[in-house]
Amino acid sequence: MSGETLRIVPANDAACDDLQVVFGERGTGSVCQCQRYKLEPGESFRSVPREERMFRLWDQTDCGNPRLQSHHRSGGVPGRRAGGVVRLGAAR
pLDDT of residue 68: 56
SS3 assignment, position 57: helix
Q: pLDDT 10s per residue in the chain (92 long)?
A: 567 787 888 888 889 998 888 888 899 888 999 998 899 999 998 899 999 999 999 999 999 888 755 544 444 444 444 444 444 444 44
**pTM for the full model?**
0.64
The pLDDT score that the predictor gives to residue 76 is 46
Give the per-residue pLDDT at 66.
80
Distance between CA 72 and CA 11 in Å, rounded?
Answer: 13
